[in-house]
Amino acid sequence: QLQLQESGSGLVKPSQTLSLTCGVSGGSISSGYYSWSWVRRPPGKGLEWLGYMFYSGSTYYNPSLNRRVTVSVDRSTNQFSLKMTSVTAADTAVYYCAREGPSVGGFDLWGRGTLVTVTS
Amino acid sequence: ETTLTQSPSFMSATPGDKVNISCKASQDIDADLNWYQQKPGEAAILIIQAATSLVRGIPPRFSGSGYGTVFTLTINGIESEDAAFYFCLQHDNFPYTFGQGTTLEIK
């Protein structure tokens, strides 16, 4: 059974770059026409979709992030990544990776999430 | 951007109760809405897709209804294991957006 697991630095200093990876286990990230996303939930707030890499390799990002986000897929290591530049305290959140399938609109599989705190 | 207004943000129910959670979209999203359940420390689980389709393996006490701008998640005959955070997602247009979520407490 396919599973997603987020990993990365839990503490990031303001103005630096947040980097997270999502490992895909139990299957290949390359199989099927799946797309891969990142979502976050700041403390006390709702969920926010950040960005997306389609199976074709094209990407789309939430305009609210002002081009600070990059999503990439590394098929050789069976994982995908999130990079967010110029972070501030407002970027403190639980970050989730998620998969969207070709037949199910929206996300059909999620990771458990990882807390990232932006602090000096 | 489509805004999803979800209510209530918190509810408390007794085993056996019927509960409804609402999700209202700021524009027509057809049936492009999913419902999810998340328990603390666990991955979110897709329970209803395309507004009304129950996902395989999800108990039939869960159901979804609605189309266009008004959607409802119903749990008919609440069980203690249903205590969780529930949220809706619209995937009709980018950026995908979420409801604020509902925390369901079982008394």
Q: CB contacts < 8 Å between A and B, how many?
A: 60
pLDDT digit string, tens, across residues A13-26 = 999 999 999 999 99
Q: Does residue A104 register a pLDDT over 80? A: no
DSSP code per residue over B8-74: -SEEEE-TT-EEEEEEEESS--TT-EEEEEE-TTS--EEEEETTTEEPTTS-TTEEEEEETTEEEEE
CA angle B56, B62, B64 (to 5 degrees): 95
Rounded Cα gap, residues A76 and A73, in angstroms: 9
Rounded Cα gap, residues A60 and B64, in angstroms: 29
What pLDDT is stored for residue A28 in this prediction?
Answer: 87
What pLDDT is stored for residue B2 in this prediction?
Answer: 97
Q: Does residue A3 register a pLDDT over 90? A: yes
Contact (CB<8Å) A62/B95: yes
Chain B nearest-CA distance from A93, in A, is 14
β-strands B102-106, B10-13 pairing? parallel
Contact map slice: B 35-74 vs A, CB within 8 A: 36, 38, 41-46, 49-50
Neighbours of A32 (CB within 10 A): 13
Q: B53 near B46, Cβ under 8 Å?
A: no
Most B-contacting residue of A49, A53, A66 (CB-CB within 10 A), to test interface: A49
Q: Is A46 exposed, middle or buried (0-12, 13-18, 19+ CB in 10 A)?
A: middle
What pLDDT is stored for residue A57 in this prediction?
Answer: 86
Residue of B45, B2, B18 lying closest to B104 (CA atoms): B18
Rounded Cα gap, residues B65 and B42, in angstroms: 26
Q: Does residue B107 register a pLDDT over 90? A: yes
Token representation of residue B2: 């489509």
Residues of A at the B interface, defined by Cβ within 8 angstroms: 4, 37, 39, 46-49, 52, 60, 62-64, 96, 98, 100, 104-113
Rounded Cα gap, residues A79 and A112, in angstroms: 15
Rounded Cα gap, residues A40 and A19, in angstroms: 13
Contact map slice: B 70-89 vs A, CB within 8 A: 87, 89
pLDDT digit string, tens, across residues A41-87 = 999 999 999 998 988 889 999 999 989 999 999 989 999 999 999 99
Contact (CB<8Å) B43/A113: yes
